[in-house]
Amino acid sequence: MSDKVYDVPSQWAQKAYVDDAHYKSMYAASVNDPNAFWGEHGKRIDWFTPYTKVKNTSYDPGHVSIKWFEDGVTNVAYNCVDRHLETRGDQVAIIWEGDSPDESRKITYRELSSEVNKLANVLRNRGVEKGDRVTIYLPMIPEAAFAMLACARLGAIHSIVFGGFSPDSLGGRIADCGSKVVITADEGLRGGRKVPLKANVDAAVNQIEGGVDHVIVVRRTGGKVDMTPGRDVYYDEAAAMVTDECPAEPMNAEDPLFILYTSGSTGKPKGVLHTTGGYLVYASMTHQYVFDYHPGDIYWCTADVGWVTGHSYIVYGPLANGATTLMFEGIPNYPSVSRFWDVIDKHQVSIFYTAPTAIRSLMQAGEEPVKKTSRASLRLLGSVGEPINPEAWEWYYRVVGEERCPIVDTWWQTETGGILITPLPGATKLKPGSATRPFFGVQPEVVDAAGGVLEGACEGNLVIADSWPGQMRTVYGDHERFEQTYFATYPGKYFTGDGCRRDADGFYWITGRVDDVINVSGHRMGTAEVESALVAHPKVSEAAVVGFPHDIKGQGIYAYVTLMDGEEPTEELRKELVAWVRREIGPIASPDLIQFAPGLPKTRSGKIMRRILRKIAEDQFDSLGDTSTLADPGVVEDLISNRQNKR
């Protein structure tokens, strides 16, 4: 923790949308009368039929139901594209920067309209209708945004699967939501390396009973791929057959917009469902206020559209606001560690939003690769995805932003749809490592283990006391799981799964997950998923996975593995298990350390005591706590003496 405080520069207080006094009055209005507040701000998007009802939400156990603007009718693609055509048709909507610095493209709102309509017609010709699910497995190319908006235009529900997931993970997600159409590319390109996306789709679809009806393949690299006649079509060939006019489907505010799978502490990833009206109002409003977005800004969020940050803050929020949003295909260190800063100069980026893990890895290369670039266009920096350590914060502030650019450390989740706790750059003083204060309409509370609400400066678990428009509505196909996961721990409140501290100024400091979810390079993972991948290996009898502090990734993956009787714990097997997990889930789930453990610490009833495993992985051997309830206290000694170290 750092005790430094950076006051709001007076220029920012004057020029930003809100200063501190304004924040306080707007915040009070938003929580005192949510109906009046959101009734007004809901008008920021265009409605085909205006809503007459605003908030209708219940967190009551057994009856959790979340509806916003429920009788309004609109269309997300209409709001992100059509409504801008008259005033800013020739303005650039998307700047695309390719993996190679030699490739970039600018797409105006008028061109975006034409592309989205064409893609929508290609889908429509293949029978896609309102309510159908479409899986998108694309690299960071403009077609990813076109595909999202094309689905939204038709009222189809998209489910994007990050290109780093394996065929198994992709197949599970296609099957879970019953998609009959998949949009992919021949290959992706990242850091000069090719990713076999179409081949992965083939492998995924082969596992699914009944397969899928259509696979639409965007040509990215031109690499040769297998095409199944009757099922697969190249996008450019299909697009050549259609017009660029497709009507926008009238959608009720509560009609689904997308499903996005995310990891929880138990079981398979959950299909987080977001709907139309409230989501778009919230994404666009947070994008405007948190980033103090003004017309003329060039805005760049480095996330992948496979994650929620890409949904809300590359595509929906910025485009709803008529912004120019930059989409980057590559990685921070290719072809050099100056790439981010080079791109900022090349496209005159003014607002830059990235993840702590990227900052920490670039920090390692020193200041020179940053300082040799200008970055004079920058005026605001943002951070998202995991707690930012004060050292990384200071480096970002001092070296990248030259002490000129406020940093908005934005806390939120796939489930929340948009940013919930964050500074507003003209209103909030900054404390490195703190996400600071709630956005309008957000009511955080800190509770103790028993659910008692803590007051003043305190530390405990973070819950949100009431709904906001961007909140997820359900787990796709499993409302019971939605209630159990988020509303059962502290009945009547949304439980975030995060721990946090509130200081005497009322600022929030997120301390990380308190459940069995880990955050590896800003990628969220359930330890249970990695465990089930490990135990699926024929030589593994049992596995327990925990996070451990990692300098670059934030958290690394530490796996304790018990082998089947007679199996030898060799270095070769260790490598085989890492490769196995990569294949089962994807490279982002590769264990960093595997410890072969003849026994795991279990209670007499057979429950693994993860607390002990976590402490060992964190090298905190002195604070293992009470081990007297273990069936065999001897295993702890063995685990400690064989603790794996970072290599």
Interface with ligand PRX by CB under 6 A: which range of 138-146, 367-375, 506-514, 625-633? Answer: 506-514
State how far the Cα of 618 lies from the Cα of 179, in Å rounded to an integer.
41
Determine if residue 413 is labeled as part of a ligand binding site.
yes
Nearest CB to ligand PRX, comparing residues 349 and 384: 384
Is 288 part of any known ligand binding site?
A: no
Contact between 562 and ligand PRX (CB under 6 A)? no
Please state the closest distance from residue 522 (CB atom) to ligand PRX, in A: 7
**Judged by CB under 6 A, how many residues of this single chain contact ligand PRX?**
23
Q: Name the token pair of 554.
A: 């934030």
Q: Alpha carbon of 508 to those of 246, 475, 501, 519, 534: distances in Å? A: 46, 28, 6, 19, 37
As measured in angstroms, the least distance from the Cβ of 559 to ligand PRX is 21
State in angstroms the smallest separation of the CB of 225 from ligand PRX: 30
Among the listed residues 308, 392, 544, 613, the single contact to ligand PRX using CB under 6 A: 308
CB of 389 to ligand PRX, least distance (A): 10
Contact between 269 and ligand PRX by CB under 6 A: the answer reads no
With respect to ligand PRX, which residue has the nearer C-beta, 99 or 304?
A: 304
CA separation for the pair 110, 84 (Å, rounded):
9
Bridge partners (DSSP) of residue 462 are 446
Q: Residue 497 interacts with ligand PRX (CB under 6 A)? A: yes
Q: Which is nearer to ligand PRX, 309 or 590 (CB)?
A: 309
Give first-to-last CA distance, the chain, whole Å: 27
**Does residue 409 interact with ligand PRX by CB under 6 A?**
yes
Name which of 313, 527, 526, 305 is nearest 416 in CA terms. 313
CB count within 10 Å of CB 596 equals 19
Distances (CA, A) of 506 to 146, 147, 375, 438: 41, 42, 33, 10
List phi, psi (to 5°) of 618.
-90, 5
- 357 binds ligand PRX per the rule CB under 6 A: no
Smallest distance from ligand PRX to CB 386, Å: 5
Q: How many alpha carbons lie under 13 Å from residue 608 in its C-beta half-sphere?
A: 17
Rule CB under 6 A: is residue 435 a binding residue for ligand PRX? yes
Q: How far is Cα 335 from Cα 402, in angstroms, rounded to an integer?
A: 24
Query: Among the residues of 488-606, which ranges form H helices?
Result: 527-535, 571-584
Stretches 71-79, 362-370, 482-490, 491-499: which one binds ligand PRX (CB under 6 A)? 491-499
Instruction: Determine if 414 is a binding residue for ligand PRX (CB under 6 A).
Output: yes
| Interface with ligand PRX (CB under 6 A), residue from 104, 413, 484, 532 | 413
Inter-axis angle of helices 610-617 and 634-641, nearest 10: 30
Please enumerate in sequence order all residues whose Cβ is within 8 A of that of 298, keeping only pairs 6 or more positions apart, or say none.
Answer: 95, 324, 326, 347, 348, 349, 350, 351, 377
List, as residue ranges, the binding site: 190-193, 309, 333, 385-387, 409-414, 498, 513, 521, 524, 535, 537, 540, 582
List, as residue ranges, the binding site for CoA: 190-193, 309, 333, 521, 582
- List of residues contacting ligand PRX (CB under 6 A): 262, 308-309, 383-387, 409-414, 435, 496-498, 510, 512-513, 519, 524
List, as residue ranges, the binding site for Mg(2+): 535, 537, 540
